[in-house]
Amino acid sequence: MRRSVVVMLATAALGTVLVAGAQKQKAKSSSDYGLAGIPGGKTRVVDLSYAINDKLPAWPGDARTFEAKVNATPEKDGYFTRSFWMLEHYGTHMDAPAHFPGGKETLDQLPVQHLFGPAVVIDVREEAARDADYRLTAVRVEKWEALHGRVPSGAIVVLRTGWSARWPDQSSYRNMDAQGVMHFPGYSVPAARLLMSRGAVGLGIDTLSIDYGPSKEFEVHRVDLPAGLYNLENLAHTDQLPEAGAFLIAAPIKLEGGSGGAVRVFAILPQPR
């Protein structure tokens, strides 16, 4: 009888130790992602989105972009509300696959898991400073991989061109010549195909488009969107990201049937070791 009691007590004690160990391991895993440090400011979060108003650089031809109207005021109604209207592709926004022929998913149909992923930041500021029409090459992607390892599956790629330094000056940001052709950097089709082969789920950039300014056919859009990727355009504060190690959250407005829409993009920076 006593022996049974001893065995039972020992088993219970072992169970307590295992549960405590599991809880400790769970806490450790949470801190590895840095999420636990966000509320207290220990983990840095960078907002990669611009605030929306009616003065942002817009695509040529988009005369009407954003409008907001006050519906109620505290003085008159006891509370404050507005209504607003805006283009789907304005400010920091996401292109859904349905934006171009061949693409299927609309903004509300994107797989939720594709909105979270490791950030691959390719810094081409030097190249873009020399050539406003620079396009990311597959060789440049491989150079990144030589330094940081293979682009991970599920990655959200950010092309850092330095163009955000021109924001919000529309003339400088569009960089349009006398013939009305815009000049700013972008991706090339070979680079996009290589990133797609690695399993990237999204391509982002700090310019008006992932295709370079002079493009008339939107070649990269016609390659990555039909393959199920999405695009993030007009990203802000990309200069604050490391080339590897950050984690991105891209949370678009859940607009039913949307070809695109406003998106809030957050980068969770790796904790210093």
CA 152 to the chain's CA centroid: 15
Helix H or strand E segment including 66: strand 66-72
Please identify which of the residues 99, 114, 221, 237 carries the catalytic annotation.
99
- Phi and psi at residue 117, to the nearest 5°: 180, 160
Q: Does residue 221 carry a catalytic annotation? A: no
* Distance of alpha carbon 121 from alpha carbon 238, whole angstroms: 8
Supply the DSSP string of 180-236, one letter for each residue. S-B---EE-HHHHHHHHHTT--EEEESSS-SB-TT-SS-TTHHHHTTTT-EEEES--
> Is residue 95 within 8 Å of 223, Cβ to Cβ?
no
* Residues that are catalytic: 99
